[in-house]
Chains A and B, each alone.
Chain A
Amino acid sequence: MQNLFKLIGKFGFVLLFILLEAIAFILVVRRSNYHRVIFSEATSEITGNFFKLYSNTRDYFKLRAENELLAEENARLRAEVQYSKSRFYTTNLEGINPIQAYTYIPCKVINNSTRYARNFFTIDAGKMHGIKPDMGVISPNGIAGVVRQVSDRFAVCISVLNTSFPVSVQLRKSKDYGSLEWDAVSPLYSTVKYIPTHVAIEPGDTLETSAYSSIYPEGIDVGVIESFTINPDDGYYIIKVRLTTRFTALRQVYAVDYHFRKEQDAIEDSIKNERQ
């Protein structure tokens, strides 16, 4: 017995190692439930406040670039407003009650990574600002991610640069849809799969968010086709896409609140039940 204790005294660190390594492996495997287990709201608030302080100081050095980006977006939006105004004049709106479907909540990215296979970013808005899980997040030039976990003042979002977050996308000109799935190779590029080969595509074509996603409004920029090959196994294109959002310099973003999501989800779920 005494020898046993001696042995444990000598090699106890191996037991400790096995125990801690087991905990770490469980965390790796249960990664999808991870936020609910470990990333409590308290830690979210602490790290969030720290990153906010850091990003505030960094902001001063990036003001010029950020201004240009926002000015660009302003110009684009101005053009769109002009366009939709002219459409309203030519359409008979009588009897139609226009309802706003989307609200955009402006927020800032305060912590971001692009070097992992599953990247996340933190924004400086939370429950208090109306952020809810599963809201889409877009940058001035394209899609950025989706809200995952919300605390009072912060929210952690899954980045488009995350191998476990596919996005439904479509070609702008033909509306054929496919799936954007990041391959963890470069933060500048992503891959689009499942667009059938009878669709004519060429480098330079734009991909946008599809109407089938309840995360983003239809028509938000995603990327531009860089090159493509055909997958011999399933006969679909594998398209290399240059992302329009610059993930290595993600700052100003907007969370998208889709007002009819509950209604859409409910009606879609009711059909699902009928099928079974």
Chain B
Amino acid sequence: MNQQVFKNIMLFLALAVGDIVFTNRISLSTYISPYIYHFFVLQLPVRTSRNGVILLGFLTGLFYDLIYHTGGAHAAATCFLALLRIIILPAFISVEDKDNNISPGIYTLGQGSFLFYTFILTLVHHILFFNLEIFKISSIPLTLLKASLSSIFSVLLIYLLSLLFYRKKRI
């Protein structure tokens, strides 16, 4: 248990560093602005309490709001992501997964499911975030395009990082 908490804290910090030194600095195009930090909420162990997931989602977002001065846009988007995770995650895991308290990842869910799960949640997070960030109705078409393109890159980054840092567990 403690080891799991420690792992999660390390992942949170690693993602924060990754965001500050990498995703904050890359500017591929105006319409591509990827994020990876929300992976922290995506991969929380499946038996994390629902209140816990919501609260951690909110706090994660708030952390990035504080360092980038974005009001509450990150917090609102990540908190919503947490709620959506609670709703859709059961569709991706079996009873056995739940008993083992797995952490949703590339090897635990399987590549296809993992990509699908990550993409849906990332897309919703990005749409909400970009709109709250600009906060202008006239920008909605632009933010939808931006959110879709960015989501592809965010998922790609999360996928590559998962391949690099997660190892297949022997059963």
B113 interface residue (CB < 8 Å to A): no
Q: B25 to chain A: which residues have CB within 8 Å?
A: 248
Task: Mark the stretch among B70-78, B92-100, B152-160 that contacts chain A.
Answer: B70-78
B51 touches A54 (CB 8 A): no
A252 interface residue (CB < 8 Å to B): no
Please classify the interface of chain B as helix (H, G, I), strand (E, B), loop, or mixed, using the class held by over half of its residues: helix
B134 touches A163 (CB 8 A): yes
A127 interface residue (CB < 8 Å to B): no
Contact A47 B134, CB 8 Å, known A113-B24, A115-B27 = no
Q: B86 to chain A: which residues have CB within 8 Å?
A: 13
Q: A117 to chain B: which residues have CB within 8 Å?
A: 133-135
Task: Mark the stretch among A20-28, A72-80, A263-271 that contacts chain B.
Answer: A20-28
A186 vs B27: C-alpha distance when bound (angstroms): 9
Interface size of A in residues (CB-CB distance below 8 Å): 38
Q: B140 to chain A: which residues have CB within 8 Å?
A: none
A13 vs B79: C-alpha distance when bound (angstroms): 11
B66 touches A20 (CB 8 A): no
Instruction: Indicate which residue in B68, B72, B73, B132 contacts A113 across the interface (CB closer than 8 Å).
Output: B68
Among A1-59, those with CB < 8 Å from B are 12-14, 16-17, 20-21, 23-31, 34-35, 38-39, 43, 47, 54
B20 interface residue (CB < 8 Å to A): yes
Q: How far is the CB of A2 from chain B (nearest CB, A)?
A: 21
A118 interface residue (CB < 8 Å to B): yes
Interface mask (B17-33 → A, CB under 8 Å = 1, otherwise 0): 00011001101001001
4 extra A-B contacts, CB within 8 A, seeds A118-B70, A156-B69: A17-B54, A113-B24, A163-B134, A187-B27
Residues on B facing A (Cβ under 8 Å): 20-21, 24-25, 27, 30, 33, 49-51, 53-55, 58, 61-62, 65-73, 75-76, 79-80, 82-83, 86, 132-135, 139
Closest 9 CB pairs of A and B: A27-B72, A24-B76, A24-B72, A13-B50, A31-B71, A24-B75, A120-B69, A20-B58, A117-B134
